[in-house]
Chain A
Amino acid sequence: MISIGIDIGSVATKGIVLCDGLQWRAIVPTGWSPRDAAQAAIGQLLNLSGIERHQVGQIFVTGYGRVAFDQADKTITEIKCHARGIAELYPEVRTIVDIGGQDSKVISIGEKGQVLDFAMNDKCAAGTGRFLEVMATALGLDVSELGYAEDPSRKLAISSMCTVFAESEIIGLLARGNPKGNIIAGLHQSVGKRVAAMARRMGIKEAVAFTGGVAINQGVKRALEEEIGSALIVSEACQFTGALGAALLASQD
């Protein structure tokens, strides 16, 4: 059966279509309308694959914006979808760290990819993509540049957990003439510490996978590995893990 999984995140909407072991991916900015973004992602998937809409068996939708999309056959939380997606890619994984645009999660999974437990950040941007985005702006960079721009030979500690205070702290560090690369390394460390604390509270079992848009950032990956004390598996399609899980669940339901 042909199935589609859509993951409507706060920043980007990701889609995957599965057909006889083949897959196509699409990613569009979520923007103001999660509904339009999902529609656009489905349109792109159909274009790329040459599949017609009526040939698609089921569409499962996950992510922050899932409730806004009314054409879903089913909505599932991103927690279950990430677990399912990772179980397919890396069956040995028992812990997933997922950092998205507006939340970070740690998911403990069992041998069959089932969710055993999870933890999520409280209503606060610390330790999320949004935190990094605000800091990148303060540094005059795009968030996608942070990973390449860091210089971890010296990590300037950012002690504030609060996004607003951390931003002031960065402006202060810049004013004192500190190199951007060291500040960025400190920022990554701060995100790493915050998320690692959440992971330790839940309990970390190896192997550990790192998913979500922030997993593209090599600096956060390095910082998290240092804090957690184990290597992180990052898929080349780390952003698509949730969409893949949704598509797999849709194909089996």
Chain B
Amino acid sequence: MADYRQMWSDLGMDLDKHDLLCEALPDAFQGVYLSQENRPQGMDFFNFVVSEIHGVRPAELMEHQKAGGKVFGTFCVYVPDEVIFAAGGIATGLCGGSQFWVSGGEKVLPANTCPLIKASVGARLDKTCPFFRIADMYVGETTCDGKKKAWEILSAEVPVHVIDVPQMKRKKDIEAFQGEILDFIKIVEDFTGNKITPEALAKSIKLINNKRKALQRLYAARKAAPVPISGKDALLVTQIAFYDDPARCAEMTNILCNELEERIQAKEGVFPADALRILVTGTPLAIPNWKLHHIVETAGATVVVEESCTGTRYFEQLVDESGSTIEEQVKALAERYMKTNCACFTPNPGRIDDIIRLADEYKVDGVIDVSLQFCNLYSTESYLVKQALADRGIPVMHIETDYSEQDYEQLRTRVEAFLEILRK
């Protein structure tokens, strides 16, 4: 990695503590990623981003700030990035996928909080994530109780705007979400000093749609057998998409897809054509949480699709681009975002329909339903998922885990036993 110590120091980061993280990541990435065979060359860009994860993109964001631009840190697929980019701002994901940050979060949060929230709060409070240091504003939402309270803690550090995501999907809820987007437009306009015009919003809707289309293309390639890219690599692309410049991310993903489509033509893959195909559903897998995929793919099976926020929920739906007034565009945005099926909604039959549809489209042999520990919403919904899949004869296994390594061998036993059942 290039030397970013001056930049990190300027950001007020805890350099000694951060060094520990920087030392651990290359080994983890080598063991989980670089050791894979026959990886697509198009992954080189994404490898580079990981190798410089706290350097290259943060430096770009700081350049943007020096030129007078604002950076918004976001946590959730319900935050409409389109609004931020339309005002000349940049939206970026924030850290939250490593055990490294959990203990920092535990200083202020109850022990029975999910690791994603603990890690996010810890990354901020321990000053070990540049994205958290750079962001001028955090944009939160109301998708779970843990996060709702976490925003209140974080707002002592940085301005926070919370988008009220409805809990149901009735007509009046979708209308309410339109109101939330209009409010958000006003907040972003005031914060950036830039007016959001219909032209600018139309442009940013296209920009984000293009990123989504590139990710859709990537996932479509995973439908092939043999699969041309590992689940781990595809997951990495999705994870990085939360941080990277949307236009560049789309471009790099499309370059990768060209190669994958050539592989499909040549019937080349990274796993044998008859390898077991797994759908992973559940809570998000934030970078660098690669634990489950690594266990599955070192046991000889392959993950071919993720029904999650770091998967299809992030990009499956596009925003209708035909709107020419702010009102029409906001309606299109609200309709698009409310099509995403998170367990925070009640009822949430759309997610189960999605899992069943994806299981068919990607010809999966089994489903692993993973919940981060203490995520009540997804853990509870797993009962309904299991019932619905059992009715259709789709094998499913529920796993509850966190970011630590301590249940690694036990998870491996569960995954291998599940694969043994599927092999019959």
Residues of A within 8 A of B (CB): 64, 67, 76-80, 102-103, 114-118, 120, 122-123
Contact = CB atoms under 8 A, between A and B. Distances in A.
Contacts of B424: 114
A116 B421 contact: yes
B420 A76 contact: yes
Query: For this complex, into which size category does the number of interface residues on chain B fall?
Result: 10 to 19
A64 B420 contact: no
A78 B409 CA distance: 12
Given A114-B424, A122-B400, A123-B401, A80 B410 contact: no
Nearest to A76: B420
B35 interface: no
B406 A123 contact: yes
Contacts of A114: 421, 424
Nearest to A63: B413
Contacts of B407: 122-123
Given A114-B424, A115-B420, A122-B400, A79 B410 contact: no
B175 interface: no
B420 A67 contact: no
Contacts of B410: 102-103, 120, 123
30 contacts: A64-B409, A64-B413, A67-B409, A67-B412, A76-B420, A77-B413, A77-B416, A77-B417, A77-B420, A78-B413, A79-B413, A79-B417, A79-B420, A80-B417, A80-B420, A103-B413, A114-B424, A115-B420, A116-B421, A117-B421, A118-B414, A118-B417, A120-B410, A120-B413, A120-B414, A122-B400, A123-B401, A123-B406, A123-B407, A123-B410
B265 to A, nearest CB: 36
A118 B415 CA distance: 11
Interface of B: 373, 400-401, 406-407, 409-410, 412-414, 416-417, 420-421, 424
A125 B409 CA distance: 14
Contacts of B373: 122
A139 to B, nearest CB: 27
A103 B410 CA distance: 8
B316 to A, nearest CB: 30
A79 B413 CA distance: 8
Given A77-B417, A123-B406, 6 more contacts: A67-B412, A77-B413, A79-B417, A80-B420, A102-B410, A123-B410
